[in-house]
Every structure is written in C-alpha cells, then in structure tokens.
Structure 1
C-alpha cells in the first residue's frame, strides 16, 4: 500500500529540511540551495554533521534492540525523510523477516523516493503514507491496512519534533499513545537548546526550529516507561550495539537527546 505520488514542485531553488539532512549525511539527493544552506549551518555548528550521523546510527541500534530483544514486528516511522541505507525496515527484517513497517512523510522530495522505501522481504511488508504527521488519526487509520494496532507497534519520530511548534507534538502524541496497545514503544530524537543559533538560522530560512530541553522531551512520552539508559546523547544509547569505529566522540555531547519509551500494561 502506498499513496500515489502526485506531480510535485520540489522548489529546488530553496533549502529543504529533508535535503539538507541528506547533505549532512553525505547523501546525493540535494541541490545547490540545500548545500549552500547546509554549509552555512556547518560554519555555525560543525558538530551538526556528526550529530546527524549519530542520530542515524541510533535509529539502527534502537530498531535492532526492539526487534531483537523485545520481539517487536511492527514499526511506524513518522517524518521518515529521505531513504538512507540501512532503512528502518531493512534493520528490522534483517532480524525478523516477517517485520512490517509503515513510513510517513509529507515532503515532496520524500514522495519521489517512496518506492525505495517499499522494497520488502517477501515475508514482511512495507507501506508509505503521504500525510502531515499532525494528522495522526488519519495516519493510524491508513496504517491499519498494514499494521495490527491491537498488538504492539514501535513508533519512531527522529529529528522531527524540533520542526514542529508547541502544542503540536504533545497533542498528536497524546492521541497516538492512547491508540497504541500495551507493550508498544515510542522512540524520539530531538535537538537541545545548545543549538539555539542553528534553530535561529532554520527559522530565518524555513520558518522551522523549536528547541526543547530534556524535561520537555520527557513530557512527550507521557506515562510511557523509558528504557535504560533514559534520555541521553544519541551515541550513548546502547553503544554496545555499534562497532567501535562508529563512535563519534564527546564533541557532540549536549547537542541532541534520544530516548525509547514503552507503554505499560493496562
């Protein structure tokens, strides 16, 4: 299942969050405006590139832990962004081929790459939903064609909520948490107030950028119980799951935070 990609205007003359993030990751799906903006941001904060890489590695580690240690077989990825190997379903299906994943985004650039997100192992399934993440009820209704919400689902929202102003993240997550079955998981990554200059640059160029501290990030989980080690730098969340050569070092400490929470039994 996937929404049919409409004809879209990518506005390649303006920087776009997904394409700029792709630039940080060393990808190829960006344009001159994205590179120029990304380079300007890196002059403000050179650590943003290793932070983006650490965030992507955290995604792979968290999915591996949820699939391998907690037996999760259903995944819902909010604010997917551009495909970057390994994608979420590739990690999950590498552990459990029957895993099912639904990707959600409303960025035109991601729509053009949706097919790359839908290549599943025969035992599993993947789907893509074109939707604003704030429309969480529509997302859950459509995702129900692939996922069984009477069983645990792992929801990920990485590098997403700092692009949304209050009270949007809290409101949509309250509805989401209510719909999820006990034993479901929520994974969040978010930049911290130390990146205020970066946030100001994003606000000026794209009207985006909302910083939150650890207490505000914790509030997004509601009554979900955080897995150890709680809210930490992305490279400090279960680093045993990553090869030593991928450790980025302490130069990005305090710039971003990640956590994984579990819905308690009813």
Structure 2
C-alpha cells in the first residue's frame, strides 16, 4: 500500500537546501547549482560523513527489523537513495510500515520511488517540518499503529536546529507519542571530535544560507535522556554495529546511537 501527501509549494532552486546538499555529497543528481556550490566548498571529510551516516542507518534499521520492529517514522528522510529505509526494513520484515517526512518539496517529486515497497507492507510520505511534530504524529497515525513500538529515525537532522529552536523538546514530544519498546535512531555531527573541521563546515554552510548547530558528545547524549542506549552506546558512525560485520575502521565526526523507550 502506498499513499502520499500532495503539496503545492514550488521549489526554490536558487537557494541551497540541506537535503539536496546531502544528495550531492552522496553523489546524487537530484540537486541544483546552489546546492552543488555549497558542496564543492566543503572538505572531503563531508562526503565521508554523508556516507557514514547512510551506512549507519542501514545497519541500525536492519538490526531493529531483525529484533521484530516493523514500524518506522523517518523524519528528514531526504531524497531517495537506494537502498532506502523501507527497502532495508522490508527485506527483513516484508510487512513493515514506514512513514517518511521531509520539508523539501523536491522530495515529493520522488515520492513515487520513495513509496514503492513490498505489497505486504505500507509506506507513506508526509510533507512537513520536524518543528511541526504534532502534525507529523497525527498524519503518521494514518499508517502506523502508535499503540505498538515504532522506530523514530532522526538521521543527520538535529544539527540543522539551533538551541533556540528547542530540538531537545522536539525529540521529547515525538517520543512521548510512542509506546514502550519504541526506539530512537539518531546521528548528529560533532563539534568536539574535529573542532577546526567542524567550524570550517559550519562556516561554508552558512555562506550558502544554511545554519548548522554541531554539538559536543555531552550535548548529543542529552537527546537520549530517559532512554536505554543499546550497545555500543553513543559512538562514532563506523563504530556502531549490531548483528553484522563491523565496518572498517576510519575517523568520523558523526555521533550515532540507538536507544529503547522504557
């Protein structure tokens, strides 16, 4: 089953957007000169970070699906890059149900590909901003059973929200709508692993009109307050693996973690 949310907004191709810069960093073609201009100013490590984010998502989703989790709410889903979250989950649990959310109208144009999944399962796409958390939850109820566990995926999203936008409250609000046994899957760029590199990336994004708020390990750990971190805890992206071969060792400025709602 597939559904979608129509949206009349036009794409402003002259302004860079995080989802499209991320697509460029991953080697995608669904971006515009403004996005490419930002991407080209970034150090090579930014491409590594985008790849590491993606690979962590694959490992975390596959592990959760293997644990019986069959519902996923992916906020800040970005432009589809195969294999996408629903493909990973439905390989393990064909009946898995997935809701994607993003605020970039371009993602809507790819909804047909985004929503193509196993007939036994269900996928939906919601055009919304993470700051509209109540609206996201209400729309997600159309596809997900919020009385059963849900994996909330926030991959490379929260570092686009400054503290003035209350990201910790947003995460708490989203988790409050989910029952015990749900999980939070999160990745976040660090400010303290490679501070000079982090400052350079932040400056280059700012020149393109995109605000970044990289955080320290202690600050990222706050997003997991009240949750039960799954081993190996809050680590860098290449260090997180469960039930799969460990990825090769490499440096990373990305913190990641998976935690259970008690």
**Cα root mean square deviation, aligned:** 1.5
What does 1:73-112 align with in structure 2 at a 5 Å threshold?
73-112=70-109
Residue 184 of structure 1 corresponds to which residue in structure 2?
182
Q: Deviations over 1:171-215 (max 9, x none)?
A: 111112221100000011000113122112212322410011111
Query: Could you tell me how far 1:165 is from its partner in structure 2?
Result: 1.1
Residue 27 of structure 1 corresponds to which residue in structure 2?
28
- Are the equivalent residues in 1 in contact too, given 2:63–2:243 (CA < 8 A)? no
Q: Normalized against structure 1, the TM-score is what?
A: 0.91
- Are the equivalent residues in 2 in contact too, given 1:18–1:109 (CA < 8 A)? no
Residue 213 of structure 2 corresponds to which residue in structure 1?
210
Aligned pair partner of 1:230 in 229, 233, 248? 233
- Are the equivalent residues in 2 in contact too, given 1:5–1:112 (CA < 8 A)? no
Aligned pair partner of 2:171 in 173, 178, 191? 173
Query: Could you tell me how far 1:168 is from its partner in structure 2?
Result: 2.4
SS in 2 for 1:27: coil
Indicate yes or no: 2:50 matched with 1:49. Answer: no
Q: Deviations over 1:55-79 (max 9, x none)?
A: 10110100000001x2100000011
Distance in structure 2 (CA, Å) of the matches to 1:141 and 1:84: 26
Indicate yes or no: 2:43 matched with 1:2. Answer: no
Point out the more displaced range, 218-227 or 233-242: 233-242
Distance in structure 1 (CA, Å) of the matches to 2:168 and 2:96: 28
SS in 2 for 1:47: helix
Distance in structure 1 (CA, Å) of the matches to 2:48 and 2:242: 15
Number of corresponding residues: 254
Point out the more displaced range, 17-26 or 73-82: 17-26
Query: Could you tell me how far 1:117 is from its partner in structure 2?
Result: 1.1
SS in 2 for 1:90: helix
The runs of at least 4 aligned residues of structure 1 exceeding 6 Å deviation read none
Distance in structure 1 (CA, Å) of the matches to 2:14 and 2:132: 28
- Are the equivalent residues in 2 in contact too, given 1:61–1:242 (CA < 8 A)? no
- Name structure 2 gaps, 5 residues minimum: none
Point out the more displaced range, 173-182 or 198-207: 198-207
Q: Deviations over 1:63-119 (max 9, x none)?
A: 000001x21000000111110001100000000100000001111221221221111
Indicate yes or no: 2:112 matched with 1:115. Answer: yes
Q: Normalized against structure 2, the TM-score is what?
A: 0.92
- Are the equivalent residues in 2 in contact too, given 1:81–1:110 (CA < 8 A)? yes
Residue 12 of structure 1 corresponds to which residue in structure 2?
13
Distance in structure 1 (CA, Å) of the matches to 2:256 and 2:17: 23
- Name structure 1 gaps, 5 residues minimum: none
Distance in structure 1 (CA, Å) of the matches to 2:224 and 2:53: 19
